Chains A and B, each alone.
Chain A
Amino acid sequence: MEMSSSGNHKLSFTLRDYREGQRGTIVDIRGEGRFKKRILEMGFIKGAEVYVEKYAPLRDPVEFIVKGYHVSLRRDEAEKIIMSEPR
């Protein structure tokens, strides 16, 4: 995480940082093995757009929409997905 001189502006975001209703593009995917393969086959690939639908009542996991359908991830899994700035 880096700070620019203009204040608290992050240069890199993970999917975990996104709030409900925000959307963004996948920039990179960390992690490997089972997790990576799972995330890829579910459509979380570089350049894909992800929309945050909802956080679960206990704040974890989180429901996302990617490639037109709904998928839920735990927050520590979402952390492994590097995103663009949310909009």
Chain B
Amino acid sequence: MPARNKGTQKKIVVAIGGNPNSGKTTIFNELTGSRQRVGNWGGVTVEKKEGIVEHRGYRIVFVDLPGTYSLTAYSLEEIIARNFIVNEKPDVVVDVIDAGNLERNLYLAVQLIEMGGKFVFVLNMADMAEKQGLLIHREKLATLLGGPVVFTIGHRGKGITELLDEVVKVYEGREKKSRHLHVAYGNELEEEVRKIQGRIRTDRELTARYSTRWLAVKLIEDDSEVKKTIEKESARSSAILTKGEESRKHLRNIFSEEPESLVADQRYGFISGLLQECISLNQMERVDSSQKIDRVLTNRLLGIPLLIFFIWLMFQITYRVGAYPMRWIEYFIELGEIGIKLLFPAGVLRSLLIDGIISGVGGVAVFLPNILLLFFLISLFEDTGYMARAAFVMDRVMHLIGLHGKSFISMIMGFGCNVPAIMGTRTLENEKDRILTILINPLMSCSARLPVYVLIAGAFFGRRAGNVIFSVYAVGVVLAILIGRLFRKTLFRGESEPFVMELPPYRIPTIKSVVIHMWERAFIFVKKMGTVILAGSIVIWFLSNFPIPRDVATVYSERVQSIEEIYRVRIDELKKSAAGYRAEKRALNEEKSSLIAQLQQERASEIISQSFIGRIGRFIEPVFRPLGFSWREGVALITGFVAKEVVVSTLGVLYNAGGEAQLGYSLRKSSSLTPLSAYAFLIFVLIYTPCLATVAAIRQETKSFKWTLFTILYEISLAWVLSFLIVKGGGLLLSLI
């Protein structure tokens, strides 16, 4: 559209509400396509999506409200949804209703209606309802709800245009069905509502700002947010709130029941009546394909084995399929290195580019395909509905740890990479559950730590290395359970979140929606973690290469020169006419190359050792000595902060090792490590602070520095204490034998 029309285009703001699993997000995606923006609601960890559509000369801004089952003040999502409607006063509110699940979905619809406003009701998944034999009289429903009803099949994009048309029609006031209605709560309740409304009306400002009926009903429900608002905004607050309490007491006396239940009863009563007028068939059980599938997937005997199988499959796909792009990225990186070596002379800049940036960022970039695949698979689990089944099957175990069944997939994913695992905790509705899962997630040993385990275990435990590594993983799991329970009892005490979880019908997700899901997360990963990792790599590079002791440079170049000189002389002395001249010359050259290579390794090691990081390492050494680690291990651990696999390469440089086998040998011979302290080292690597990318993910998902810092600190402390116990305790045991 030409830019000058934008100014004359009228803007309509439309809020989209509905139950979770109602297909609301699919409809939002169908409406706004790529023109959407994802953010957060006012600094909390709830996702906010906005998108724009141009239709019939209007610029329609769709705001996707969090999915909720009702509009009480008990959860952040509900408060956000409510506040948006009450405070921002959108022009139109669209309620997406799962047509196959009308009764419960209408519970939310009814509460929306009570807030007043202009509505369009969307009956989504209309095809599923039809399959269940449900016949819905659209016009009657619209009349009884006070707003037009549109049938849609979200994942096929059907009904979207009609929805847009109705939104415009409602906005323009041309829709005859738009009426303001409310649920009749029965004589006694209505009487109390009237009384409270009377008190509210004495405050003109309050009355102008909110629907008095809505406020009154909420007071009867003892809604904490509404009470807070009234206290804050009304001069008559004490009179109003007192009346509210009186009404509640009165109702409790007459009915011997809590007013909230009374109100809920009445709402469902209204809904029942409404449905009887509008529906042709009433179904008790959903005897359909989902139920048949569940006979297998949540089967008493097969349920858990199948879950294990799917998880195994998830990892297989991630690593097998991911291996190909991984190789391409590795080639690409190698090409990049060659290119840079050609373009830049040896020196600081080249070192920064190759040893700093490419090495650091490249090391993590190589894992990118795996991470993307994990994002994709987790979206698939969610969108098909299988996630709920996994939670259903594993909840008993998770509950013992103090977690919700939904945490299971996230924890398992941590074995692949903690970053997507932590980002995957968004499916957890409860803040406490989410944070707790995030806090113990790093104890699930991610795949980047494996190279370290393989190296150390291989060097010190020979044939038993496999078992040792397995034990490390096991320790991680046991710790996660213990720490989880500990935190649950201490930090996250209080009313625990009810489990009550819907098992939605299985759905074949559209590729579009799964890819959009995956892309959103991948984008965040690349952008945020990418910058953090880049910065971290540069910092570590700097700390490892500076200050360059001048004498080292000179001493080594002198030694290289003298070696060159010695060998030149020896080669010259060879009789050119002698039989094995060529072979001897080659042998001498090879010897020379390997001596020079050795010198270069020594030089590199010397540089690191005298660099900032080396100094930091030596400074911290007293902390590591009780664990049996030397400053070299300390430095390696520090560099591991960027990415765990860097520990291996740092150890390689510090011990002048040419390759892994040689490193293993060097570790056994030259380091201060014993098998006992080597095991302690493994445990230390398992537990100590997670890598930069994970820390960034934690910060992002918890939206708090406090928890991020806490994770780092508790993990370092725990790592140290456990390693200490292993070394001292083990030492004690061994001395008794």
The answer to whether A and B interact is yes
Asked if B283 contacts A39 (CB within 8 A), the reply is: no
Determine if B79 is an interface residue (Cβ-Cβ < 8 Å): no
Which range contains the number of A residues in contact with the other chain? 35 or more
> Interface code A27-41, partner B: CB below 8 Å = 1, 0 otherwise?
001001111111111
Across the interface, do B395 and A60 meet the contact criterion of CB distance under 8 Å? yes
Q: A58-B396, A60-B395, A63-B392 known; A39 and B500 CB under 8 Å?
A: yes
CB closest residue in chain A, given B73: A37
Asked if B104 and A43 make an inter-chain contact with CB atoms under 8 angstroms apart, the answer reads yes
Partner of A71, one of B264, B291, B503: B503
Closest Cβ of chain B to A55, distance in Å, is: 7
Of B295-303, B325-333, B483-491, which binds chain A? B295-303
A61–B499 CA distance with the chains assembled, in angstroms: 9
Taking CB atoms, residues of chain B closer than 8 Å to A11 are none
Provide the residues of chain B in CB contact with A56, threshold 8 Å.
298, 303, 392-393, 395-396
Given contacts A36-B260, A41-B69, A41-B264, 18 further A-B contacts (CB under 8 A): A34-B497, A36-B258, A43-B268, A45-B261, A46-B265, A49-B284, A53-B285, A55-B300, A57-B393, A58-B304, A58-B393, A61-B395, A63-B392, A68-B100, A68-B103, A69-B286, A70-B502, A70-B504
Specify which of A36, A40, A65, A74 is in contact with B284 (CB 8 Å cutoff). Answer: A65
**Would you give the shortest CB distance from B659 to chain A, in whole angstroms?**
48
Taking the nearest CB of chain A, how far is it from the CB of B605, in angstroms?
Answer: 54
Task: Establish whether residues B500 and A45, one from each chain, have CB atoms under 8 Å apart when the complex forms.
Answer: no
- B502 near A61: Cβ-Cβ < 8 Å: no
- Of chain B, the residue at the smallest CB distance from A70 is B503
Listed residue (A55, A59, A70, A73) with the most chain B CB atoms within 10 angstroms of its CB: A70
* Closest A residue to B430 using CB positions: A34
Instruction: A5 to B222: give the CA distance in the assembly, Å.
Output: 44
A16 within 8 A of B: no
Give me the 8 closest cross-chain CB pairs, A-B, nearest first: A41-B70, A58-B396, A70-B503, A57-B303, A40-B264, A67-B103, A41-B69, A35-B498
Measured CB to CB, the closest approach of chain B to A45, in angstroms, equals 5
Query: In the complex the two chains form, what is the Cα distance from A73 to B502 in whole Å?
Result: 9
Q: Which residues of B contact A18 (CB under 8 A)?
A: none
- A68 near B261 with CB under 8 A, answer no
- We find that the number of chain B residues with CB closer than 8 angstroms to chain A is 47
Contact B502 A42 (CB under 8 A): yes
Given contacts A63-B503, A71-B503, contact A51 B396 (CB under 8 A): no
In the bound complex, residues from chain A placing their C-beta under 8 Å from that of B303 are 56-57
Complex alpha-carbon distance, A57 and B396, angstroms: 9
Which of B102, B108, B268, B497 has most A Cβ within 10 Å? B268
Cβ of A72 within 8 Å of any chain B Cβ, yes or no, is yes
Residues from chain B with Cβ under 8 Å of A68 in the complex:
100-104, 283-286
CB of A77 closer than 8 Å to a CB of B: yes
B294:A54 contact, CB within 8 angstroms: yes
Q: Are B286 and A39 in contact (CB under 8 A)?
A: no
Is B72's CB under 8 angstroms from A41's CB? Answer: yes
Given contacts A32-B258, A58-B393, contact A73 B499 (CB under 8 A): yes
